[in-house]
Every structure is written in C-alpha cells, then in structure tokens.
Structure 1
C-alpha cells in the first residue's frame, strides 16, 4: 500500500503523461520528418545546431530536465548510450525545454534543482554528463517544433536527419531493474545495420512538459498558500525533546529562529521553499521560535507573512539555556540553528548560523527517507 501511495504521489507531483495530450501540447514530429534545426546554448557556454553534429551518422535528441524523477532515473542510461555508441558515429544531445517560471514548487519534491539554465549547469556537473545539455526554456521554440510529450522523450534521426524513432528510451522508468524492451538501443542498432527500425514509435512515461501557458498555475499556487492556516503553539522542554526524538516516519528539518535575529529572518523564506517542495514526501519542516513567550503575537505575525503553514512552536519560558539543551547539547547557542533529524532521533546535519539552501535541498532529497525516485 505504501509503494502504491508513493507511485500515486509521484504521478501527482509530476503531472505525469502517458501518451496523453494536454490542450497546449504541440503535435509530435512524425516518423520520416526532417529534423528541425536549432541554435541553443549549452551548459558549457557553447551554442549548438544540427551542424554541430554533422559528423554523426545517427543523431539522438533527448528532451529531458533536472527536476523530473523519471528524467533523473534515466540520466545514467543516457550517459551509457552516449558512451556505448560514440565510436560508432552516434551523437547524443539533451535539451531541457521546460519553462522554469511554469514549475510549481509542489512539482519539485523529487529534486534539489529546478530547470533554470544555471541549475542545468550544476546538474550536468554533478552527474558528469558526457553529452551536450542545451537550454530551450526561454521561448520553447524547439520543443514546439519537435513536440515531446514527456521527459524524457527521445528522437532518433538517420544520417539524412530524417526521424526514424521517437518515444521512450526503454520500458523501465526506475533506475533499477532490467528493461524488457530497449527501444532506443534497438532503433540505433537497426539504423547502424541499415535495417528498418522494428518499432518506430512508442508512448512515453514521464513528467509533462512545463509549457509557458502553465505560468498562471504558479500564481494560483501562491494564492492558495495565502489561504492555508498558520499557527504557533507553545511548547515546553519535554515537548522539544520529544520533537527531536522524532518518533514519526518522516525526515524532520528543524530551525530555531527569532524575530530579532537578522540572519534568521533573512533565511526563513528558504525554509518555506523547502516546506512547499517536500511536504508531500516523507518530510516535514518545523520552526521553533526563541522569542520570549510574551512576543508570541509578534512571532505569529511574522509567520503569517511568510505563509508558514508548517508546524511552528515557541518555547514556553525565557530560559534559553534550557531551550539549547532540549534541542541539541552540541549547540553553542547562536541563532539561527538548524538540524536535520531522521526517524528515531538521529541528527544527520546541524548548522549554527545560516544554512546553504542548495546544500540542504540536496541533503533532503538524497536522504534515504525521501529520495529522488518514486
């Protein structure tokens, strides 16, 4: 039942498409069609067009992205496809066409990065991509010309740059498991042998394309946040210790802050981003105000202004040393203070002072209780 729930959640987060077309979905390029040319910026700072791959007998273009769990699950296979066929004059290029402004934070629950050009550069470096990774998210002209349905979606062209295959890479969307149908590989092998591609088109399973027309959904998401209730409960020393023991089945990110603490106030929006990104996963963000109890209304007003619909607490007495010991005996007392606590109470990260948001997102999504894949 738990596995089914995770699969359903992944489908909801990614707005997964399985051969279905949205109202704004362009027509997918037909088999036999000529490859539309492009002039796109790669993560290496170079611009690429069809001429950049003129020396290749076969060109495979993969529409993919950073954030989609299915796309992430295929990264190593795309790298292997590139390495296996490089000597056989097969070129592989990846294109990210998602509009970053059209991606909901709720859709980033399986990643530490969105799909901006700068984040593409980081992902390519982290994963040591051995293929060009190009950005089309600005105007999406190339995606509109090719018509990818989901990420990843591969298009394979012959030497004359006529489309001979489009669809899935294989039939296993998880990073583990053995595919029964190596569709992309079979297409390449057939073309190298001068034979017709056995199955020229398949359906694709993955996250839907984030077309610019979906930007309004982001505004609606933000409007919905403003309607969520924000609460601030008083908590005592025993309650804090129980929080840290974490008897739940969720990874807990706990931040101790105060309204009078400049760095706390500055970094709090980063925690809200993470709250909205991962709250549908086995994760929860909890804030603990170190303001004096008589400043509860002030702390609540601040939280309301940040749409902090997560669990929020304020320590019930002014003795800050009891607060320190209840949270973490290793904490020296400076604010802000942040810990990441696994179920069972194991503190796997602690930081006195502001966090690095990018590092924290990576720690969360790569923790065994969360993960990049469904």
Structure 2
C-alpha cells in the first residue's frame, strides 16, 4: 500500500505545474508602488527614493526587441520631454530575460534584450530618462504584473497606482497618435482628478519570463537536428544567386575555414538568418576552400548548425538553388566574383546584401559588426 501511495504521489508530481510558470496578475489600481533596486544604463542603481521629489512616477516596462516597443520608443522620449517640467519622472524598465527569446522573435530590431544592448537601443532613440534592467531576477516586473512591452504603470504623489495599460492606440505605428491613454492619465493625475480610463489592455509582445528558457532550449534542440547541406557552386548558380528572382533579401557571405575572422563571425551570421526566418531573408554562405577540402567545409558547417529554415528552403528551390551553403568548384573564382559582386577585391570575409531583382544594397569586406548587419537587413525590408 505504501508503494502504491508513493507511485500515486510521483505521478501527481509529474502533472503539477512547474513553480514560476504562472503569469503574475497586473497590480490593482490603488496599490502601492512596489520597492525596487535596479541597475541603469548610466551605471547607477535606482530605487524609489531617487524619485521622491517627483509628483508623478511613470514606470514603463519595455524592451529592445519588440516591434511595438520599438515603434513607441520615440514617443516615450517625447512624453518625457513634455512632462518632465510638470513634476513627472519617467522610468523605462526592461523586464525581459534575454535567454527566454527564441531567434525568430528577434526579427524586428537590431538588438536583443540583454542589459548590454539596452545602452545602444536607448541611444538610437535619444532617451534622456533612466532605463533600468530587471531581466535577471524579474522581481519588479513580477510584482507589478508587467504583461507585455510596452506596459505602463502610473503612480501619483502618494505612490498609489492610478493608471495601468497601454500608452496609446498606435500599435506598431511609430508616428503621431490621436489617442494617448498615458497623456490623458498624466493630465488627470497632475490636475488631481480621476483618471477616466484607469485600466486598459497592454497590447504588445509578451514578457519573456524566466520559465520560457525551456522554449528556447527546445527550439535550439530542434534546430540542431536539422540537416546541413553544401552544394557545388559554379558560374551558372552564381548568376542565379545575384539575379535573386525571389521576393526575399539575400545575405551572402564569402568565407573559408582557414580565415580566422570568417570562422569567428560565422555563428553571428547563422543567428541573423534565424532571427529573420519569418521575414523575407535568405542567408547564403559560399566557401572559398579548395574543392578537396569538402569534408572540412561540411564538418565546419555542421558544427555551426548552418541549416536552412523551411521558408528559405522553399524560396531557394523556387529560384533553382539547391542549398543555402556552397563551395566554389567552378575553376577560376574571378567568374564567381564577377557574377555576384564585381566590386569585391577577393579578400575574406566578404558579405553582401542583395535585394530582389539583383541590386546590391550593402557590401562589406573584413570583420562585420553584426548589429550593423541587422540594421542593413531591417533597412532593406522597408
């Protein structure tokens, strides 16, 4: 009987939810400001005491990667400028854990949600207010119940919550808006009147909770099981690569197993291909190793998991390309260089971004800045 009870208990334990996987509820209107102590991009650590002299404290949970947050970034700085002289302190908080994001969630910004990438993100949009990081432990975003990015929590002089929800109805439009719930709430709190709409839904990318790391691990495991192929490259296929009869951008990287910078930057290029796999981008690698080095080339590509997303495989096949990885076997490499990028000197590594129809939008010889590569890809989508 004891053994049976033990088996029943074990079975029950297997179906119990993992601790920490329950999404926290949004802080109720009238609740006190939760305590926090968080590092900022300016090197300081902030607590509520740093804003004690402000009549209003506006906390906005946001992120570097989310298209909704990116679209709202410039408006956030404008709100701060419009209200900073009215006793309003505005603080942005990144509550996302960067390890809880799968690559395909990162296709709308050159940045992920790491603490290090918060500084260039804020610089891009000219932020002059504190930008704090809560992604490591997520204690503050959890107690507030930050659901998505951006998500606003507005506290009055007594640090009671007066408004929570979205900034406005702009969504992913980065321009001006007709309706700003945040501005209406700020005006009401400053005037000492009731907020007409104290709660709205915070539409946007969901908070990347720590427990979502399991999703990332599963996604990576699935990716690593994908087959990696490499095909011979000749002048005819080179011309097809450049012609780009697809509807996608093509990021083409020329490399070699004996080129140190090539080997070093290759994983970041694979990551770029995965980031934009749900958007119109194809990543193509071309090895300049001698033909007899095919085993070494294949081994390298397999070790870096240079697989091909399903969407890319389909588009490449439709334009007559058998793989996303190639090794030049067509004799004189000048014919390949002339076919794909006549301005290339032949130095490795070399990377080009080709638009549909064959126009080269961007080229770079030497070590890449992967953030710049992502910027160029995003620019090419526009």
Match of 1:289 among 287, 290, 296: 287
Residue 10 of structure 1 corresponds to none
Residue 222 of structure 1 corresponds to 220
Q: 1:212–1:247: structure 2 CA closer, same or farther, 3 Å change rule?
A: same
Deviation at 1:134, TM superposition (A): 0.5
Residue 17 of structure 1 corresponds to none
Equivalent-residue separation in structure 1 for 2:155 and 2:56 (angstroms): 6
- SS of the counterpart of 1:77? helix
- Gapped regions of structure 2 (runs ≥ 5): 1-19, 309-323
- Gapped regions of structure 1 (runs ≥ 5): 1-21
TM-score (normalised: structure 1):
0.89
Match of 2:184 among 174, 183, 186: 186
Equivalent-residue separation in structure 2 for 1:57 and 1:260 (angstroms): 62
Residue 321 of structure 1 corresponds to 334
Deviation at 1:67, TM superposition (A): 0.5
Where do residues 186-335 of structure 1 align in structure 2 (5 Å cutoff)? 186-310=184-308, 311-335=324-348
The number of residues matched between the two structures is: 348
- SS of the counterpart of 1:205? coil
Q: 1:199–1:25: structure 2 CA closer, same or farther, 3 Å change rule?
A: same
Residue 353 of structure 2 corresponds to 340
Q: Determine if contact 2:110/2:375 at 8 Å carries over to the other structure.
A: yes
Q: 1:309–1:354: structure 2 CA closer, same or farther, 3 Å change rule?
A: same
- SS of the counterpart of 2:338? helix
Q: Output one character per residue of 1:316-365: Cα deviation in whole Å (capped at 9) or x when no partner.
A: 32322222222222111122211111122121222222212122122212
Q: Determine if contact 1:292/1:318 at 8 Å carries over to the other structure.
A: no
Q: 1:176–1:117: structure 2 CA closer, same or farther, 3 Å change rule?
A: closer
Q: Which piece of structure 1 moves more, 74-83 or 287-296?
A: 287-296
Residue 35 of structure 2 corresponds to 37
What is the RMSD computed on CA atoms of the aligned residues? 1.6
Whether 2:140 is the aligned partner of 1:142: answer yes
Rg: which structure is higher? Answer: 2
Q: Which piece of structure 1 moves more, 349-358 or 116-125?
A: 349-358
Deviation at 1:299, TM superposition (A): 1.6
TM-score (normalised: structure 2):
0.87
Whether 2:169 is the aligned partner of 1:171: answer yes
Q: Which piece of structure 1 moves more, 189-198 or 357-366?
A: 357-366
Deviation at 1:23, TM superposition (A): 4.9
Q: Output one character per residue of 1:144-194: Cα deviation in whole Å (capped at 9) or x when no partner.
A: 111111110000111100000000111121224664532111111111222
Residue 84 of structure 2 corresponds to 86
Equivalent-residue separation in structure 2 for 1:120 and 1:208 (angstroms): 18
- SS of the counterpart of 2:269? helix
Residue 12 of structure 2 corresponds to none
Q: Determine if contact 1:293/1:318 at 8 Å carries over to the other structure.
A: no
- SS of the counterpart of 1:122? helix
Q: Determine if contact 1:255/1:286 at 8 Å carries over to the other structure.
A: yes
Q: Determine if contact 2:152/2:167 at 8 Å carries over to the other structure.
A: yes
Q: Determine if contact 2:255/2:285 at 8 Å carries over to the other structure.
A: yes
Equivalent-residue separation in structure 2 for 1:178 and 1:47 (angstroms): 33
